[in-house]
Amino acid sequence: MSVREFDVADEAGHDFSDVERRLGVSRRTFLNFCAGVAASFGLGTKSALAMAAAIANPARTPVIWLHGQECTGNTESLLRSEQPSFEHLILDLISLDYHQTLDAGAGHRVEEVKRETMKKFKGKYLLVVEGAIPLGQNGIFCKIGGQTMMDATREAADGAAAIVAFGSCASWGGVQAASPNPTGAVGAPQFLKDKTVVTIPGCPPNPANFLGTVLYFVTYGKLPPIDEKGRPKWAYGRLIHENCYRRPHFDAGRFATQFGDDGHKQGWCLYKLGCKGPETYNNCPSLEFNNIGGGVWPIGIGHPCVGCSEQGTGFSKAMFSLSDVKTHTPPNVFPIISDRQSSSSGTIAAAAAVAGVAVGAVIGATAVAGKKLGEKDSQAAQESSKSEQA
């Protein structure tokens, strides 16, 4: 954002002084943050200002957060987010009215608060589902406060303005839905077939993908554009393989074949170790994880992607089996790089020899032709001299 655009924000009548007091940051820092979030959606300055105005609004969006079959890893990941921090999220951007892991209270009173919120803000609150929903035996495999996850989800979904499935378990069943799936676990979209559910798959997903989606909803009162699986296009629109910084090694045929071999140490492609990046849609290479930088994500630290965010890949395919490459498939066998170099050197030498023979042949042929042409010219000159003498 330019200085002029900041001035335009003031001219448009936006007052961010309250945000400055609440967050303890300058107006410029606050607007830069909003601009960064908007840019991640591919949006411009006007959208950044709209987002800033929505955040500045003291009326925060109520959130009901349900937990089904899961390990709570998604919430744990969110607790460690920094842009914005989790406390900034729940104290300044949304009103987290019910969250079974983070609620200070417990028991019947907490359940009463949930129902009071759903009644008071019917059609206005955001429902977040974390964890799978078991359908087996009428849902008895997951109950909260005497209510099955099936009933709790259906009740909360009926009055929600929007529904977000956070994590692979909530998006499509995750590890709970892996064969043989004895509890009949499914994701929120499969259970709420008559509802639009935005999915944020991952085990756990990057907190930025969830926070960005929530900020979009806070700003525009609707969910961002999603694909056929309910995933936000801005976050899940491309294969990991497309943006992976090991991709050049894939294209060049340089693969690690064992953990700790020379290729693995040199950062070569992990395709032959079972990397599922070529069939998994996510923005892991772009965002990495927990805002730490330095390659902090599975492929960055030398482990193949397991496809945790892709239904039919994560928790379904063997971890070290070859992935189904969505772009182009390499040959079954690539020579190791030293062999390729030796082969290349031999090829170059052979090519040089062939070229030398060809050049020699051309030179030889030119010399012979020149000699014959000279003989013909000499013979023609002699005949011409005899004719003049006669």
The residues facing 226 across adjacent strands are: 232
pTM of the model: 0.75
What burial letters (b/e) apply to 349-381, b meaning 16+ CB within 10 Å? eeeeeeeeeeeeeeeeeeeeeeeeeeeeeeeee
Q: Which pLDDT score is estimated for 45?
A: 77
Domain at 60-236, CATH homologous superfamily: NADH:ubiquinone oxidoreductase-like, 20kDa subunit (3.40.50.700)
Residue 91: exposure state from Cβ atoms within 10 A (0-12, 13-18, ≥19): middle
Q: Which pLDDT score is estimated for 378?
A: 53
The DSSP secondary structure of 10-29, one letter per residue, reads HHTT---HHHHHHH---HHH
What three-state secondary structure class fits 374? Answer: helix
Architecture of the domain made up of 238-334? Irregular (4.10)
Tokens, residue 25: 């940051």
Could you give the CA distance from residue 249 to residue 337 in angstroms, rounded to a whole number?
11
- H helical segments located in the chain: 3-11, 17-23, 27-40, 45-56, 73-79, 86-88, 108-120, 149-158, 168-172, 188-191, 207-220, 233-236, 240-243, 247-252, 262-265, 284-287, 337-389
Q: Measure the CA angle with vertex 119, ends 59 and 104; round to 5°.
A: 70
Sequential pLDDT tens for the chain (390 residues): 444 444 444 444 566 666 666 666 677 777 777 787 777 666 777 777 887 777 776 678 899 999 999 999 999 988 887 766 777 777 667 888 899 888 888 888 889 999 999 999 999 999 999 999 999 999 999 998 889 999 999 999 999 999 999 999 999 999 999 999 999 999 999 999 999 999 999 999 998 888 888 888 888 888 889 999 999 998 999 999 999 999 999 988 899 999 999 999 999 999 999 999 999 999 999 888 766 667 888 999 999 999 999 999 999 999 899 998 887 665 555 555 454 434 444 443 333 333 343 334 333 444 444 444 455 555 555 555 555 454
**Where in the chain are the domains?**
1-58, 60-236, 238-334
Q: Which helix (H) or strand (E) holds 162?
A: strand 160-166
Provide φ and ψ at 160, rounded to 5°.
Answer: -85, 145
Q: Which pLDDT score is estimated for 40?
A: 67
Nearest to 130 by CA among 62, 78, 82: 78
Q: Which pLDDT score is estimated for 156?
A: 96
